[in-house]
């Protein structure tokens, strides 16, 4: 079997809920899109493009093959009673909007107040990517990240803020290039305690 066939087929079979899709089906769909755009998918410059696009989509949507709660399973408990906020700031991500499949390019600020255990900080960035690499709307992605941290770590509070530019608003449609969308989800002490919430917000730049 072609080495390239396995990962995409695994992705599509497991995550798309369509057992019949093969890479050749995906490439045929991209050939159709190229024809729809007005070009010839058989001209030399485009001959490999459907294959490249299938691999690009495999990367864009690799988050369907990841379990964010599982990513957060490994924790460290020797923290000498540390119970203040832990915050990873400005995590860059690339996603795609579920309406146009246009890029969403942004950053996430992720904070939590631990309850007896902490997680490796890279895992917070991995959780952001696991949700970003799916078809998204920003509000849902923001909530998913916070919910996964709450579910896996059961901390005293979780805060997530995302700022992102939506290419469906900048390169098409309404064409507003210098806009960004800001979304937040606050749980536990970040929702209930104005001082904790303010501490989190004061560290957003």
Ligand X SMILES: Nc1nc2c(ncn2[C@@H]2O[C@H](COP(=O)(O)OP(=O)(O)OP(=O)(O)O)[C@@H](O)[C@H]2O)c(=O)[nH]1
Active site residues: 97-100, 138, 166, 168
**Interaction partner, residue 156 (ligand X, Zn ion, none; CB < 5-8 Å by kind):** none
**Closer Cβ to ligand X, 99 or 115, answer by number:** 99
| CB of 203 vs Zn ion, minimal distance in Å | 30
- Which DSSP category does 114 fall into? -
**Closer Cβ to ligand X, 174 or 195, answer by number:** 174
Site for ligand X in 16-55 (CB under 6 A): none
Q: Do 123 and 92 contact (CB within 8 A), yes or no?
A: no
Terminal CA-to-CA distance of the chain, rounded, Å?
49
Helix H or strand E segment including 94: strand 86-97
Q: Do 144 and 110 contact (CB within 8 A), yes or no?
A: no
Site for ligand X in 170-199 (CB under 6 A): 173-174
Q: Are strands 86-97 and 103-113 parallel, antiparallel or unpaired?
A: antiparallel
Does residue 167 belong to the site contacting ligand X (CB under 6 A)?
A: no
Sites of contact with ligand X (CB under 6 A): 97, 99, 137-139, 166, 168-169, 173-174
């Amino acid at each position: 079997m072609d080495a390239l066939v396995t990962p995409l087929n695994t992705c599509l079979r497991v995550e798309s809920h369509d057992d019949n899709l093969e890479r050749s089906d995906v490439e045929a769909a991209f050939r159709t899109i190229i024809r729809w755009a007005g070009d010839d998918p058989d001209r030399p410059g485009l001959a490999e493009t459907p294959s490249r696009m299938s691999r690009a989509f495999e990367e864009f949507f690799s988050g369907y093959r990841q379990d964010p709660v599982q990513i957060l399973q490994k924790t460290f408990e020797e923290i000498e009673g540390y119970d203040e906020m832990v915050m990873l700031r400005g995590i860059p991500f690339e996603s795609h909007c579920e309406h146009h499949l246009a890029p969403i390019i942004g950053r996430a600020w992720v904070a939590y107040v631990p309850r007896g255990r902490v997680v490796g900080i890279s895992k917070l960035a991995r959780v952001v990517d696991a949700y970003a690499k799916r078809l998204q709307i920003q509000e849902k992605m923001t909530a998913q990240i916070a919910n996964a941290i709450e579910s896996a770590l059961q901390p005293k509070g979780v805060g997530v803020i995302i700022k992102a530019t939506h290419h469906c608003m900048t390169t098409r449609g309404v064409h507003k290039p210098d806009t960004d969308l800001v979304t937040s989800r606050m749980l536990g002490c970040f929702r209930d305690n104005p001082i904790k919430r303010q501490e989190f917000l004061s560290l957003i730049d």
